[in-house]
Amino acid sequence: MKKFYLALLIIIAAVVVSYGFIGAQQSQGDKHPDVDWTLSCQECHSEMTPEVYKDWELSKHGDVDFGCYICHGDGQEVFYPKGTDERCGGCHAAQLVEFEKTKFNSCYDCHNGHTLKFHNE
């Protein structure tokens, strides 16, 4: 019985600790909500998701105004709830990683998608 409670505790801890790491991406769904498409990503997200917007704005992508669409698509015709490694590699060819030679599976294992910083920074 103790083992069961321990397992349950681990699962609850997983939900609490890792929600921001994995869950936030999974909960988005495959479709972007239908919105006022005459707005740019930034115009809307600066109001709707100000924290994410702030993370992006202070990142290197934000610094050079490379917008949400670079990783997530336009939201209407193309939508990637989570960025893909292939897309990272397009611009950052010098940092392309052959993951099979590492302990990692994705750029996002090390980098936060919005701040672009390492998770330990």
Residues making contact with another protein (CB under 8 A): 7, 10-11, 13-15, 17-18, 21-23, 26-27, 37-41, 63-67, 69-70, 73-78, 86, 89-99, 101-105, 109-110, 118-120
Residue 110's Cβ-side half-sphere holds a number of Cα atoms within 13 Å equal to 11
Cα–Cα distance for residue pair 117/56, rounded to 1 Å: 11
In the complex, least distance from residue 51 CB atom to another protein, rounded to whole angstroms: 20
Angle at 85 between CA 97 and CA 99, to 5 degrees: 30
Nearer residue to another protein within complex by CB, 50 or 90: 90
